[in-house]
Amino acid sequence: METQKKVILSVAAHGDDAEFMTGGTLAKLVDEGHELYMLIATDNDRGSHRLSARELKAVARPEAEAAGKVLGAKGVFLLGYRDGDLCDVPQSILRGQIMYHIRKLHAGVIFCWDPFAPFENHPDHRALALATSDASSFSALPLFHPEHLAEGLQPQRVTEWYWYSKAHWETNKQVDVSLTIERKIRALYAYNCQMVLTIDDLLGEARAMGVEESRLAGIDANHFEPLIDLGVRANDAKAGSEAGCDYAESFRYQTIELPEIFES
């Protein structure tokens, strides 16, 4: 039986969020014939110990598009908010912008940070997750943001949600990404400034915890590939051991539950 094509919208707060958390699954779904679009809310303009905000903004789009190309995305969209300030954006505004893309792209599957996961320490993740949950719940109702309909868009019903969390909270679905983990890692490499930040932060945390400098001497953030590869594989191998495969990604998965009268 031919698989029905789905339109997937990945909604992330920052460039590299989706790639770290769900890059293997997104690539796998593309390989299965589904359409992928990626929406990124901020331009990462504070995510560096080395670059200025202007320099970060300049590379935000080309890096995001390069990563999207590796995963097979048909389109990458940036909202352009300041890094760290999504909590100051009115939820109705952010919700409306996400809903606009759901309707424009006819998206039926959503990937995003989990709006109800505990222990999430980043305000951008929390704000975006709630706005995405609301947008995808209300996108089928025409009286929410009727200006979209005036532009020719139509209400769109979302039927599946893949929520991800650093705490792997309430995991009920694990996706085998053994065949796509290489693409996931290559997509992360496209975010040069964010990968340098990841290693710089790792070194800073190690020093703050009193790790001897001699143990850090061989780590160069400008050559981040070995550590990023090692970290991604270690994380996904742990999930894979639970799922019975080499590498996996974990989600709190939701889908519409039809009443018994519609069951065959």
Task: Look up tokens 């760290």; give the residue.
Answer: 84
Residue-level pLDDT at 168: 83
Task: Indicate the pLDDT class of residue 1, thresholds 50, 70 and 90.
Answer: very low
Residue range 87-127, pLDDT digits in tens: 999 999 999 999 999 999 999 999 999 999 999 999 999 99
Alpha helices, DSSP H, located in 17-154? 17-31, 53-71, 91-105, 123-138, 146-150
Residue range 248-258, pLDDT digits in tens: 999 999 998 77
Sign of the alpha-carbon torsion through 52, 82, 114, 255: negative
Residue range 185-225, pLDDT digits in tens: 999 999 999 999 999 998 999 999 999 999 998 888 889 99
And the tokens for 175? 């996706």
224: CATH: 3.40.50.10320
| Domain span holding position 179 | 7-256
In the chain, the number of structural domains is 1
Distance (Å, rounded) from C-alpha 155 to C-alpha 143? 9
Residue range 3-38, pLDDT digits in tens: 689 999 999 999 999 999 999 999 999 999 999 999
Structural domain contains residue 1: no
Structural domain contains residue 232: yes
Average pLDDT, the chain: 94
Structural domain contains residue 233: yes
Distance (Å, rounded) from C-alpha 97 to C-alpha 64? 19
Structural domain contains residue 263: no
* Neighbour tally for 98: CB within 10 Å: 26
Q: Please, which residues bridge with residue 76 across strands? A: 38
Residue range 127-176, pLDDT digits in tens: 999 999 999 999 999 999 999 999 999 999 999 999 999 988 899 999 99
Residue-level pLDDT at 185: 98
Residue range 140-149, pLDDT digits in tens: 999 999 999 9
Query: In the chain, what percentage of residues exceed pLDDT 70?
Result: 97
CA atoms within 13 A on the CB side of 194: 25
Distance (Å, rounded) from C-alpha 246 to C-alpha 126? 30
Distance (Å, rounded) from C-alpha 90 to C-alpha 185? 34
Structural domain contains residue 262: no
Structural domain contains residue 2: no
With a cut of 80, say whether residue 261 has pLDDT above it.
no
